[in-house]
Every structure is written in C-alpha cells, then in structure tokens.
Amino acid sequence: MTTLSILFEDNHIIAINKQCGDIVHGDKTGDKTLGDAVKDYIKTRYNKPGNVFLGVTHRLDRPTSGAVLFAKTSKALSRLNELFKEEHAIHKTYWAITDKKPEPLSGQLNHWLVRDTRQNKSFGYSTEHKDSKKASLSYNYLGSSDKFHLIEIELYTGRHHQIRAQLAAIGLHIKGDLKYGFPRSNHDGGIHLHARKIEFTHPVTGEDISVIARPPADPVWDFFVKLVDA
C-alpha cells in the first residue's frame, strides 16, 4: 500500500485516488485494503483514540485506478448509500485506453450481464439471459496515439466488471486486461481503466462536489493527458 493521494476531504467524506493493485474491499488474499490505509491516516492525522469509523460507498476493481469515495461519519454513509441507489444522483466518469476505436465514435451501450463467479468474469449479451442484470453506459471517443485510443465513459449502472465486459462485447479491449481479451499484461498488473471523475451533491452540506483524479504516471497515460489538455 503506497502513500495516499487525497483528492477531497472534509469532516464527513474523503476521496482517494486509488492506485492499480490497491483493493477497496477485503478479499481472500487478506491484503491490507485501501479502507484500512485511510483509517490509519485519519487515526494519525487527527490523533483519534480507539477505532476509526469509515464507510465504503462503492468499489473499484483491484487492477483499476482512480477516484474512490469513503464516508467518515455514519450520517454521510447512509446518505451516500441512498445517492448511489438513485439514478443519475452520482455521476461517474471513466477513462479507458483500448486497442481499437469504437464504431460509432460515441453512443450508448446496453447489455445484459451474466456474472460467472468461477471465472470471476462477466459476459455481456444483447438479450436478457437467466440471472442477467441490465447494464448501461455511454461513451465518447477522445483521441488516439499510434497504437491506442482513449474513450471517456459515463456509467449509468454499477455491475460487476461492467465497463470491461461491455467494451469486450463490442470488440474493444482495455490495455493490460488479459481477463477480457487484451493480449499482454501491464508490468504492474494493472489495467488502463481509470475512474476519472465523481460528481455529486454533498450528503450533509448540500454543496455540488466534483472530484477529479489524475491517471497514473506512465508514458501511455501521460500522452493522453497531454492530448486532452492541449
């Protein structure tokens, strides 16, 4: 677990720029979670005795990077949980670097996802299947390098491996994502899928909050950040 990159913090919530490899929820590996690291930070930073409260409001896949939101109070947690259940109450924007351009260059994807727990993988279908869940997102092509393509995605539902599975269903593979068809892994075991932005109304103060996370520092991400900012 590396040094925390804090994107936003007040008395009620804290947002972290998660690095590839960090886990949000505990799993069978028993590795220290990002939540554990945030608790340690709060305990030390504010000299808090005893146990520190921290609520996990959503998750990112272990190989994915980007903005993750935690609640520092039970009031904030319950209200954020309600916001995450409401359609369009929380806007989540992702960046994905893929091996192909999408056709058309922008649009909406709607699939029925079936989760295979044995493979820890989801499969997208154009029609409803047994035990499937509806998954929706919109995407917009932002630019290309000589080998790769940057796509911005707005997520409307929160399904298991949703972006990875839906892009694979239309023949696009995220750089480094062996599980969903990219031929080579990244050196750090991560994938080039990044939670770029979370926008929401603060659950306690009522302010409009926009949290933006810079992608990891590597030559491919650096190229596309410069391209978009140019």
Q: Convert the pLDDT of each residue in 52-109 to its tens digit.
A: 999 999 889 999 999 999 999 999 999 999 998 887 789 999 999 999 999 999 999 9
Mean local confidence (pLDDT), 129-146:
96
Mean local confidence (pLDDT), 114-119:
94
Query: Hey, where are the domains in the chain?
Result: 6-229
Mean local confidence (pLDDT), 163-175:
98
Helix, strand, coil percent content, the chain, rounded in steps of 5: 20, 35, 45
Percent of all residues in the chain with a pLDDT value above 90, rounded to a whole number = 87
DSSP track, 149-182: EEEEEEESS--TTHHHHHHHHTT--BTT-GGGT-
List 66's β-bridge partners, or say none: 18, 195
Domain 6-229 has CATH 3.40.1160.10: no
pLDDT for 2 equals 60
CB atoms within 10 A of CB 76: 24
Assign 3 a pLDDT band (cuts: 50, 70, 90): confident
Structure tokens at 127: 């029609």
Assign 22 a pLDDT band (cuts: 50, 70, 90): very high
Q: Quick one: which H or E segment has residue 130?
A: none
Whether pLDDT at 124 is above 90? yes
Mean local confidence (pLDDT), 182-207:
95
